[in-house]
A and B are shown apart, each in its own frame.
Chain A
Amino acid sequence: GAVVSQHPSRVICKSGTSVKIECRSLDFQATTMFWYRQFPKQSLMLMATSNEGSKATYEQGVEKDKFLINHASLTLSTLTVTSAHPEDSSFYICSARVPSGSGEQYFGPGTRLTVT
């Protein structure tokens, strides 16, 4: 299967600071990437759809000014959590859709964010 990486895998930051998470498709070009958030023992919650070269589409209830998404190239999307608060602590996972039109999505390993 296709490979998607995320960096960092784990980050601890202080309340009020910003954190950037990178998502890369390593062996394919992805015009569309997705950002999810997952709470313990729960399913994946889609936050936004990231399209290369255009603005991200956010799901209802997700603050676009707080979770900034940039998809500057066909292999890289970034999620910046701005002015982080302890309630933003979570497991953030990205995925990338293969360009074949099949709908297949491959997920990154996730980033554990802890805000103190």
Chain B
Amino acid sequence: QQQVKQSPQSLIVQKGGISIINCAYENTAFDYFPWYQQFPGKGPALLIAIRPDVSEKKEGRFTISFNKSAKQFSLHIMDSQPGDSATYFCAADQGAQKLVFGQGTRLTINP
């Protein structure tokens, strides 16, 4: 019940396209859902996060869509650029305890 399932495992998108990564969870007590971006050999960087009281949050080209009833949330990257090529991790937290991470999605943006 503590798992967060992330899909797809890998994704290839053309430059300028929309990249979509999905995550699903079971624990309805989760109250914080961040997305992290990680480049090879680097630590993860916090991209954007959402709480379950809102259905969408947008920051620049990055948008989180949150569906509380379906227990799913997704990351949308608009106008995807080669510099967005990285591994993306979704995560969930309950009461600021510890993050539960998804398996990761390796995103490649073709120029």
Contacts and interface: CB of A to CB of B under 8 A. Distances in A.
B partners with A: yes
A95 B32 CA distance: 16
B34 to A, nearest CB: 7
Contacts of B36: 107
A54 interface: no
A43, A46, A104, A112 pick with most chain B CB within 10 angstroms: A43
Contacts, number: 54
Contacts of B45: 1, 107
Interface string B63-93: 0000000000000000000000000010001
Contacts of B44: 44, 93, 107
Main secondary structure, interface of B, reads: loop
B102 A106 contact: no
A108 B43 contact: yes
Interface residues on B, range: 20 to 34
18 contacts: A1-B45, A42-B103, A43-B101, A43-B103, A43-B104, A44-B44, A44-B89, A46-B99, A95-B43, A101-B96, A103-B31, A103-B93, A103-B96, A106-B46, A109-B42, A109-B43, A110-B42, A110-B43
Interface of B: 31-32, 34, 36, 41-46, 49, 89, 93, 95-96, 98-99, 101-104, 106
* Closest 8 A/B residue pairs (Cβ): A103-B96, A107-B43, A103-B32, A110-B43, A109-B43, A103-B93, A107-B44, A43-B101
Interface of A: 1, 4, 6, 34, 41-44, 46, 49, 91, 93, 95, 97, 101-110, 112
